[in-house]
Chains A and B, each alone.
Chain A
Amino acid sequence: MNESKRILEVKELQTTFFTDSGQIPAVDRISFYLSDSEIVGIVGESGCGKSVTSLSVMGLVPSPPGKITGGEILYNGRDLTRLTDKEMRRIRGNDIAMIFQEPMTSLNPLFTIGNQMIEAIAIHQSEMSKKQSEEKAVQMLKLVGLPRASALMKDYPHQLSGGMRQRVMIAMALVCDPKVLIADEPTTALDVTIQAQILQLMKKLNTDLGTAILLITHDLGVVAEICERVIVMYAGQIIEEAPTSVLFKDPQHPYTQGLIQSVPDMRLKKERLYSIPGNVPKPGTILTGCRFAPRCKFAFDRCISENPELYVTADVHQTRCFLYEERKVKMDGNNTFVDS
């Protein structure tokens, strides 16, 4: 177990969307934690509930139709789901900050970078003078590796490239020195070379500033690059959780195995890239058994009728699959499991 303090702990979180066609549990009783200065990745296909999870933590689930219907989100032991609007505003940006997928549209096009940076400071550190906040903003822009930072303050977002805008977003998120940074697909919209730069930057800031990062992504490559621990989500549930190295060495859930197999490998000359057959269940579909069962090649009768729980299969490894029910008992034994 991780010995350091758990700064963020999500317990049995349930976020439901109330639509005309019924209630859709976008996030279904998920539990995970984030320790001080840790980088944890949440991986999953689009629609698996990873973005809703992050928005739930921020208290920014679009409402209506979305609503947190159960569970707790503990930040330093304080349950964020019980906070008032005003109390939550004090947490946002100050203790928990967030950056988003689309750097091109995430900055307000009609205000200068400086205006938006200083705004972030002014909200939480009103005691700072205009000049001090300006200095702080410039300093932050330099820290995220932006050249000519003071001139940049007067620029508008459209004068910057996508990579630069994402750096500005990161600078803006970290300007109040938050303990947790939630990054929702921060590199998806960027070129591959820029992606690597942004990931390195995040890793560096994590080391230098000690900001814990919750990285939401669909890209296992990104996870391998910087995350210490990975949570795999499928259809609103966590289906596997393990330290990154363990997960790549010993992916247990058939879905995780499929995900890892679908990563293109330069060393293998394959005609076709592997893909998991079928699609993510449409949100709102009522599923009695394991949510992955319809696409799983190992599925048996029980998988159709009953949803497995998360089995702790090794010290820090959990898997939601009946194949590992036995393993739970044999946890102390050797760690190789042969699927058959």
Chain B
Amino acid sequence: MLSYVGRRLVHLIPVLLGMVFIVFMMIRAIPGNPAQVILGQQATAEAVAAMNVKLGLDQPWYIQFFKYLGGVLQGNLGESMRTRLPVADEIWPHLAATMELAFFAILIAIVIGINAGIVSAWFQNSWFDYIAMVLALVGVSMPIFWLGLLGQWTFAIEFSWLPTTGREPVRDPVNAITHLYIIDTLIQGRFDQFFEVVRHLILPGAALATIPMAIIARMTRSSMLEVLRSDYIRTARAKGQKMFWVVYKHAFKNAAIPILTIIGLQMGMLLGGAILTETIFAWPGIGRYIYEAISFRDYPVIQSGILVVAFIFVMINLIVDLLYGLIDSRIKYD
């Protein structure tokens, strides 16, 4: 088991190296020059050249690449060209904001998606099944920006139940410790703020949860339908077990592996690619952070930001793989 984890982590190295290299080359293929962006359109050619030297952009690409790589290997993610601050310090608050939102969203998606899928499979071809599956289809096809705007208009503007944008009350900002505000407010015993933070999470969380929820529901349904036809389900019923336990104990555990796979993939996507939601809800997350870095051609931020997201994605997959073994003892890691 430990050696398996070790080997998986070793396999991670070429993946991340390749990743860093591709991102490095791609951002340099985008037209535009960081020095020009920093100095503005009116800057003289000399000033731009001087800035290029200062940023190290006058050197050949492979020197730049290995310099960056050397830094990363020493745990140094570089320095933002725009703010001159270390990327490692800048990135965490944004990553924490995204993580909080993503976990909240995936929680909604899992709780509703799995249960909807289970009940749909249990009562296959019932009105609940039809409605849930039509909603799931609508959910997957729904553009997030439209859904987000609709939510803001309905719940924030028309009914004024929830805040439109942001992570925290503007007049009473959270005193950040871990930057995960749910935890920070609880540590400080500020339950009023905790409540506010949760209120801020609801709209973007629900918007972000829609697509994963629909995908999870459909996956759960099809996986459960297959399992419910199994012989051991008949055995469990022949024992006199209640249908609820037959479904939630015997069937669900057997149906769980493909569902877990999907949840892992969706979680990875949410952590890396919630840009639309973050933009609509003015959420200071990592998606927007990288997006803004791209428009400023802030090379170190783009590179390190994507590297961190890729690393998280791969780690989630590893965790999912390890969870398989916990569910099914036939899956062995050695």
Residue B328, interface by CB 8 Å: yes
Partner of B254, one of A89, A109, A124, A169: A109
Binding site for A on B (CB under 8 A): 125, 230-232, 234-242, 250, 253-254, 327-330
Chain A residue with minimal CB distance to B237? A60
Interface string of A117-146 (1 = CB under 8 A from B): 001100110000000000000000000000
Which B residues touch A119, using CB under 8 A? 236, 239, 241
Query: Can you offer 26 A-B residue contacts whose CB atoms are under 8 A?
Result: A58-B238, A60-B237, A64-B125, A89-B240, A89-B241, A89-B242, A90-B240, A93-B238, A100-B231, A100-B238, A107-B232, A108-B232, A108-B250, A108-B254, A109-B232, A109-B330, A110-B253, A110-B329, A111-B250, A119-B236, A119-B239, A123-B239, A123-B240, A156-B330, A169-B235, A172-B239
DSSP class of B's interface residues: helix, strand, loop or mixed?
helix
Complex-state Cα separation, A64 to B329, whole angstroms: 34
Which A residues touch B234, using CB under 8 A? 60, 100, 106
Q: Given A89-B240, A93-B238, A110-B254, A105 and B230 touching (CB < 8 A)? A: yes
Q: Are B242 and A109 in contact (CB under 8 A)?
A: no
Which B residues touch A107, using CB under 8 A? 232, 235
Q: Are B327 and A108 in contact (CB under 8 A)?
A: no
Q: Are A108 and B240 in contact (CB under 8 A)?
A: no
Complex-state Cα separation, A21 to B241, whole angstroms: 33
**Ranked 8 nearest A-B pairs via Cβ:** A93-B240, A92-B240, A93-B239, A105-B231, A108-B232, A98-B238, A106-B231, A89-B240
Interface string of A87-99 (1 = CB under 8 A from B): 0011111100110
Most buried by A among B232, B253, B328: B232
Residue A330, interface by CB 8 Å: no
Interface residues in A195-239 by Cβ distance below 8 A to B read none
Complex-state Cα separation, A36 to B31, whole angstroms: 89
Q: Given A105-B231, A109-B330, A156-B330, A92 and B237 touching (CB < 8 A)? A: yes
- In the assembled complex, the CB of B224 is this many whole angstroms from the nearest CB of chain A, namely 14
Chain B residue with minimal CB distance to A110? B253
Count class of interface residues, chain A: 20 to 34
- In the assembled complex, the CB of A84 is this many whole angstroms from the nearest CB of chain B, namely 13
- Report the tally of A-B residue pairs with Cβ distances under 8 A: 68
Which A residues touch B242, using CB under 8 A? 89
Chain B residue with minimal CB distance to A90? B240
Complex-state Cα separation, A109 to B254, whole angstroms: 8
Which B residues touch A64, using CB under 8 A? 125
Q: Are B328 and A109 in contact (CB under 8 A)?
A: yes
Which B residues touch A92, using CB under 8 A? 237-240
Complex-state Cα separation, A90 to B240, whole angstroms: 6
Residue A78, interface by CB 8 Å: no
Most buried by B among A91, A102, A110, A123: A110
Residue A158, interface by CB 8 Å: yes
Chain A residue with minimal CB distance to B330? A158
Complex-state Cα separation, A169 to B240, whole angstroms: 14
Most buried by A among B232, B234, B239, B250: B239
Q: Are A102 and B231 in contact (CB under 8 A)?
A: yes
- In the assembled complex, the CB of A194 is this many whole angstroms from the nearest CB of chain B, namely 18
Which B residues touch A93, using CB under 8 A? 238-241
Complex-state Cα separation, A64 to B126, whole angstroms: 11
- In the assembled complex, the CB of B218 is this many whole angstroms from the nearest CB of chain A, namely 22
Complex-state Cα separation, A94 to B241, whole angstroms: 11
Complex-state Cα separation, A124 to B242, whole angstroms: 11
- In the assembled complex, the CB of A20 is this many whole angstroms from the nearest CB of chain B, namely 13
Which A residues touch B240, using CB under 8 A? 89-94, 123-124
Complex-state Cα separation, A169 to B235, whole angstroms: 9
